Structure 1
Amino acid sequence: MFLSLVIAIWAALDETATIAALILATLAMPFIAKSLTSRISISDSELRIDKAHIERKYLGKVTVLDSEAMRLLRTRDADPAAYLAIKFWAVKGVKVEITDPRDPTPYWLITSKRGEDLAASLINN
């Protein structure tokens, strides 16, 4: 994507614009990469994903999902009330059921490259 943008600018404009676009795109890459990642943190009292958080006492069953199960939960079997902390390019993840009777959210669906580690951290603490 990065290179194709620079080539498109080079084809449409002159070399100065291409060099400027290349420099700006290079400087913007760390910020773009940071905005595309989710920060998952687990403490003794809560699970936090970016700005969303829930107390651990309300976490129910934790299920590690392979690519097929994740695909189904994202599409056909999705619950519209679920909280989705997903990235479209990640194929595996974890489903965490929510047991808070006041919360209409049935589960959190979280994509993670290390779903087994995430599930183990949620279960063990």
Structure 2
Amino acid sequence: MTATTTFRERLYVTWWIWPLPLLAAALLAAEVHMGFPGVRSWLPYVILLPLTAALIAKMGSTKVEVADGELRAGDAHIPLELLGDVEIIAPEDRRRAMGRELDPAAFVVHRGWVKPLVRVRVNDPEDPTPYWVISTRRPDELAAAIKS
């Protein structure tokens, strides 16, 4: 973390999501094992279980950061001086904010396992994006970092 970083968060996948995909991968490997007995019967386990774990870990590699005068969410970044109002969306209002109230031109970094959201208006007349919607576990800290 650099000296100018005021907020950093990784939207990792919570522990309770891991068992179901790993179980599905193990069942799929068992199906292949039953269809191809013999020397190569261990191969689906060696391939599918680590591949599933790697995919779950990749899903949790998204970073949200306010550093060096920019807001970074995933691969995108925008200077803080181009940002306007910051609104914290409570978990109970998430469905409405991501549904009928969502502008199709909005930039969204949403992870279903992270409930709170932050909506940040974009004040750049050349940018067609009206606002960013970002999942975060610490919405108050992110809003404060953007405003400061």
The TM-score with structure 2 as length reference comes to: 0.72
Match of 1:3 among 8, 15, 23: 23
Q: Please tell me whether residue 21 in structure 1 is matched to residue 41 in structure 2.
A: no
Q: Superposition pairs for residues 100-111 of structure 1, below 5 Å?
A: 100-111=124-135
Cα contact 2:29–2:48 (8 A) shared by 1: no
Equivalent in the alignment of 1:119 = 143
Q: Please tell me whether residue 31 in structure 1 is matched to residue 51 in structure 2.
A: no
Distance 1:66 1:110 in 2: 12
Deviation at 1:32, TM superposition (A): 1.6
Identical residues among aligned pairs (%):
27
* 1:9/1:30 CA distance change after superposition, 3 Å: closer
Q: Please, which runs of 5 or more residues in structure 1 have no aligned partner?
A: none
- Comparing 64-73 with 102-111, greater Cα deviation is found at 64-73
Q: In structure 1, what residue type is equivalent to 2:50?
A: L
Q: Please, which runs of 5 or more residues in structure 2 have no aligned partner?
A: 1-20
- Comparing 30-39 with 73-82, greater Cα deviation is found at 30-39
Cα contact 1:6–1:22 (8 A) shared by 2: yes
Q: In structure 1, what residue type is equivalent to 2:145?
A: S
Render the CA deviation track for 1:32-67: whole Å, top value 9, x for unaligned. 234213111211321111221111101111111111
Cα contact 1:59–1:99 (8 A) shared by 2: yes
Higher relative contact order (CA 8 A, sep 6+): 2
Aligned residues between the structures: 124
Q: In structure 2, what residue type is equivalent to 1:22?
A: Y
- Comparing 6-15 with 93-102, greater Cα deviation is found at 6-15
Cα contact 1:95–1:108 (8 A) shared by 2: yes
- Comparing 86-95 with 58-67, greater Cα deviation is found at 86-95
Distance 1:18 1:40 in 2: 42
Deviation at 1:21, TM superposition (A): 2.5
Deviation at 1:121, TM superposition (A): 1.5
The TM-score with structure 1 as length reference comes to: 0.84
Render the CA deviation track for 1:78-113: whole Å, top value 9, x for unaligned. 101110111233221101111111111111000112
